[in-house]
Amino acid sequence: MTTDATTATAAGPQTPDGWTSGTWTIDPAHTMVSFSARHLMSRVHGTFTEVSGQIVTDPDPARSTVTAVIGTASVNTGNQMRDDHLRSADFFDVQTYPQMTFVSRTLRRAADSWMLSGQLTIRDVARTVDLEIEFLGSDPTGLQGEPRIGFSAQATISRRDFGVTFGLLADGTKIIIADKIDITLDVQAFLAG
């Protein structure tokens, strides 16, 4: 894998326009990790404000990798009582599990998008998750003269898969908090020095 910001010259039809190879540091100031879940008759939306990680883009996109770390205590839904509950042992248990992580395994072309498969770990439970990725482009000069790259990604996970079952009713007669969680990532990264 390369570590310089050179546009991939071995680009074939599988390489997105503007694809740039390099090693990139996720910029938390320009990255949004958000989620939503059904709660009773509406949906609750929230974000995590503490995120870090690295993206390595290879001239062959399929050889690219991603690692990310999210601070669970940084959850923010705009309601202090709800956020404190999410930080408790009923949900993220931030005292015991201060971080969740994602480590990619494969990146493959899927119709008009890319699918990034990797291992998501929440509360020390690791599961394979598929993210649908959109490459948003690269900028050789960025905001302050440093090269930047951007991606968007979406996935849906089952919180039950990670042992987070508070609010799930076994008989399915009423949804208090849904099992399915929709995740959206908007990631901007700068070239690692």
Q: Are 97 and 69 in contact (CB under 8 A)?
A: no
142 or 132, which is more confident: 132
Element (H, E) at 83: helix 80-87
SS3 74: helix
Q: Tell me: domain 20-191, CATH 3.20.20.10, correct?
A: no
11 or 139, which is more confident: 139
Residue 168 has pLDDT above 90, yes or no: no
Say how far apart CA 23 and CA 5 lie, in whole Å.
8
pLDDT (tens digit per residue) in 75-127: 999 999 999 999 999 999 999 999 999 999 999 988 778 999 999 999 999 99
Predicted confidence at residue 93, as pLDDT, reads 98
Q: Would you place residue 138 in the very low, low, confident or very high pLDDT band (cuts 50, 70, 90)?
A: very high
Where do the domains of the chain lie?
20-191
Predicted confidence at residue 10, as pLDDT, reads 37
Predicted confidence at residue 36, as pLDDT, reads 97
Strands (E) in the chain, as ranges, are: 6-7, 20-26, 32-39, 42-48, 51-57, 65-71, 75-76, 99-110, 113-122, 125-139, 148-158, 180-191
Average pLDDT value for residue range 153-179: 85
Q: The whole model's pTM is what?
A: 0.88
